[in-house]
Structure 1
């Protein structure tokens, strides 16, 4: 039986990754600072990474990160050193203990902010991460993931099999309200009126269902692709239009309140899907994802 370690296993991506690996017959060990009920775990990822006698897993899926949502990205800069420590400890441990391979969950936040503002609007290709001439990724979280990718390359240079994926705006039925999709669905379930959208409402995102994030990432591993891969659809949808889809599914027409004083993020973040689509084709449309979410209970 194949074995996997999933870090951040109580988080949104981590718990879906754990469930999918188990469904495929893998033996999965999860680690997080808390379990699914919010209780502290006996060992979190940093504690495991200090061990020299760890089992040798067939796959280490590194999902763990502290608060990778917009409010924290903009408002909690001290997450930067914690997340850097987490990633560096993981790669050091993986090399030191001879792990078989690592799937590193990077982020679309690695792409330079200047490529996501103004015109012309462009899809972000995997090559568009040049930080020369003062072009920077999206806030401290983007720097963390960009640096994590550099650590991944260093680990690969000494023989570790590493796969790097860059999810765009992952969403799903059980997403927490710290993320836009989860917050919108929660507001619609409670039939809030007015319905609040942070920022201008015109910011565009590339929404990819969590099932496609997980299946797509594992397809990258199965294909043994060792260059970064966008997990995306290549389709952009405004926050305002997403809210319109959600409120129609909920069957009500609230007043929309645009709150320009809340974090908005970049104007246009849509991935170039060509590399991804040569490996895996997303299965769940945004319309279907919204319908699934509105049929489910409250988000966890």
Structure 2
């Protein structure tokens, strides 16, 4: 049965892909934005939900970015994300929303987890200091959804999403995810005929990457499943930052030297999700390979470079 869905962050990098995917499945998706819909204002949030009257809320709006912004803006990241999430949960419960899905993050896992991260590890220890402020806001939302479920019956869902990349991402170094930051670095180097690209850290950390279109499909499948525990959403495939850099260099046709700035932080040394439960619950595996997804992203970026670089 198609739902009437209110989607926050519906014009953002990931939100627009979620909107497209849900509409393809027959849902009515409403994506209100500022100034009329201000998630930092509880009255504005409540008023908008009363006007839309959704069956389901999908919360993909966030104040976020890569390692740079997580280190530079811990207060803003914590404050804005917690306030937006709590305002939305409360308003949704008061207008009779049946289901609330919030986008989680692998940043919410303990920094000391060894091996691939299972859902049972979600509360196993402190977060890595570099992403603590952002990651803990996802834990706040899980606790909040459980509280509202007990108090009002509203069902909560949370896909724990690994590193995203794809078209319409933020490519500037300060707010970008690692894949987008590398794409811009290497594309700029080719355009400017540079013989050297400097990358952060040692290149040794291992990360997992999922194409945004695949992740949106996973969100839609989770929504339809009714599964109400946090669920890892990723590929389960680890790639070192060095390997990622080399793939991006090849796809952008950069033939110079890659230099590693070891004064910059690496972050957690390994962050890969165990996706066995995802495959079981959703009967699904993300179809896009890292190379194919990066090739699509780079093609889009080069065709829209001025517009993409202007995004803050």
TM-score when scaled to structure 1?
A: 0.89
Give 1:294 shift: 2.6
Runs of at least 5 residues in structure 2 that lack an aligned partner in the other structure? none
> Secondary structure in 2 aligned to 1:50?
helix
Superposed, which structure 2 residues align to 1:88-127 within 5 Å? Answer: 88-115=86-113, 121-127=114-120
2:127 aligned residue: 136
Q: Is the 8 A contact 2:164 2:177 kept in 1?
A: no
User: Which among 201, 204, 223 is matched to residue 202 of structure 1?
Assistant: 204
2:80 aligned residue: 82
CA distance in 1, matches of 2:232, 2:195: 36
Q: Is the 8 A contact 1:74 1:139 kept in 2?
A: no
Q: Is the 8 A contact 2:13 2:167 kept in 1?
A: no
CA distance in 2, matches of 1:195, 1:4: 44
Q: Is 1:284 paired with 2:288?
A: yes
Runs of at least 5 residues in structure 1 that lack an aligned partner in the other structure? 34-40, 116-120
- May I ask how many residue pairs the two structures share in their alignment? 286
User: Which among 138, 158, 167 is matched to residue 173 of structure 1?
Assistant: 167
Q: Is the 8 A contact 2:64 2:134 kept in 1?
A: no
Give 1:131 shift: 4.7
CA distance in 2, matches of 1:196, 1:276: 36
1:49 aligned residue: 45
Query: Runs in 1 of length 4+ with deviation above 6 angstroms?
Result: none
Per-residue CA deviations over 1:119-155 (Å, capped at 9, x if unaligned) read xx500001102255xx335411111111111111112
Give 1:92 shift: 0.9
CA distance in 1, matches of 2:187, 2:105: 29
Kindly report the root-mean-square deviation, in angstroms, between the aligned alpha carbons of the 2 structures: 1.9
Q: Is the 8 A contact 1:124 1:269 kept in 2?
A: yes
1:37 aligned residue: none
CA distance in 1, matches of 2:97, 2:24: 22
2:27 aligned residue: 26
Q: Is the 8 A contact 2:6 2:52 kept in 1?
A: no
Q: Is the 8 A contact 1:170 1:210 kept in 2?
A: yes
